[in-house]
Structure 1
């Protein structure tokens, strides 16, 4: 607390953003109090509202404020009011990511290793095409990589997300896994039209983009010091695969799309292409949001030639 505000405490009313009711009141709070500190004080009074579940805004319909902002910066020391929103039950990002990635890893292998469980007893005796074997290897590699990145590479700006996201994300990934693996591992699977040339081309595209995706994730990890929410403009490093940052804000998504395009080409299944399309739509939405955030946070310094996800287009 600054010397200027040591004796300038006040009583703060914490109002519900919806319903206009009073959640609680905080006595003897300083204008220098941050939102993060306010969350802890509210949690002391309302134990079920742990800090990660709380969101605040200066106006009932305003935007959520950052944990680092002080009450004085929001003019709350003048209004003596702040508005609370309950984010609902929360769950750790890492927990959600591991759950949503572990499902596809094991579910796909069930279709691949035990086809008789899915297609009938006769399916186990029928040979699988080379493309189906490669499909299982690529799918397994991708989701094993994602789990390892979640545990050892990613640094999340927020520690939790709404519990509902666990069910939503798992439904998406697990559902598409069942759809894709059912047809790639089916006894009546039709191999790619252009044979091994198409298979190896798709495999090469997949591998290159997987390495590119990992390269971007490692660069982004090094960009944010552990335990902080610090944001900096990402630029390429010595790894040539990171040069895509010259063209787009989210090259990790660009490479992700490339991986699944390669997988779709290699296996030549409509369901894999549908999965790629759905992922492209979702990642484009995320990329545009991140692109706007970069330009807002660094209005004068952010490279103007960058697009969000597709070079020169989007």
Structure 2
């Protein structure tokens, strides 16, 4: 996959791998399409959007939300951990990227086990789709980094900037997940309008910080695949955030503060 020469200041040359090239195209196109579907009201079937905007499948096997989310994140965490144990003597950038991915998904697993509160279920089809997306993207990002080890480094080194963005993203994401988890008292299942932190400005600040975390990992990596997947993730979470805001407006009506945006304060 050829890229403009100016981008080679920021990116490693694409490795000669049909698999990575194919996954780059699939990643950005499938996630962008998923974001567009969210805007059209055809949602991924989990959390508050279970059975919303899709034909109800009476016989579809369902998992509890907790077990579904564990499936979302655990295989990707294991891929990241295995890459650190199996690929010895790698360069600093590889170790930083694999560590960031491992920490990201370990955090998500720990949140599922010890932080989040649950009130629903997740369809098996959605569970498989999301699990494959996270697992394959994690493996491909690490593999693309491995293939780039002998390629010339980009002239502009973004990895330390990326570490900073990743840390801001993971801390901000956890903080707003903590606020969400504490909205409900023990035994409560009803949704409430979140307040506190950036929830006073946007309804999905946890998505904003998740994007910052992925941009940070893309800057650590500086491979074309990492930036392609991150771009697709931005499109998907933008669509999901806008759909979430519309869901709150429909559910709470005039009680929902109209000045609260989707996920970018004062803008979107």
TM-score band (shorter)? 0.7 to 0.9
2:58 corresponds in structure 1 to 86
Q: 1:179 aligns with which of 120, 140, 144?
A: 140
Matches within 5 A, 1:131-142: 131-142=93-104
Pick closer, same or farther for the CA change 1:87–1:304 going to 2, 3 Å: farther
Mark the runs of 5 or more structure 2 residues left unpaired by the alignment: 1-49
Contact 1:135/1:267 (CA < 8 Å) preserved in 2?
Answer: yes
Contact 2:163–2:220 (CA<8 Å) still a contact in 1?
yes
Query: What's 2:184 paired with?
Result: 224
User: What residue is the counterpart of 2:114 in the other structure?
Assistant: 152
When structure 1 is superposed on structure 2, of 206-215 and 133-142 the one drifting more is: 133-142
Q: What's 2:73 paired with?
A: 101
Between Structure 1 and Structure 2, the one with more helix by share is: 2
Aligned match of 1:235: 195
Q: 2:161 aligns with which of 201, 208, 216?
A: 201
4+ runs of 1 displaced by more than 6 Å? Answer: none
CA distance in 2, matches of 1:95, 1:289: 24
Q: Which has the higher contact order (CA 8 A, sep 6+)?
A: 2
Contact 2:94 2:142 in 1 (8 A): no
1:293 and 2:247 matched: yes
Unaligned 5+ runs, structure 1: 1-54, 57-61, 65-83, 116-123, 237-241
Change (3 A) 1:220 1:246: same
Q: How far apart, in 1, do the equivalents of 2:228 and 2:82 lie?
A: 21
Paired positions, count = 217
What is the root-mean-square deviation in Å for CA atoms of aligned residues? 2.5
The structure that has the greater radius of gyration is 1
Deviation, 1:219, is: 0.3
Aligned CA distance change for structure 1 residues 283 and 308 (closer, same or farther; 3 Å): same
Counterpart CA distance in 1 for 2:220 and 2:261 is: 28
What's the TM-score once normalised by structure 2's chain length? 0.73
Q: Which has the higher strand share?
A: 1
1:194 positional shift: 2.5
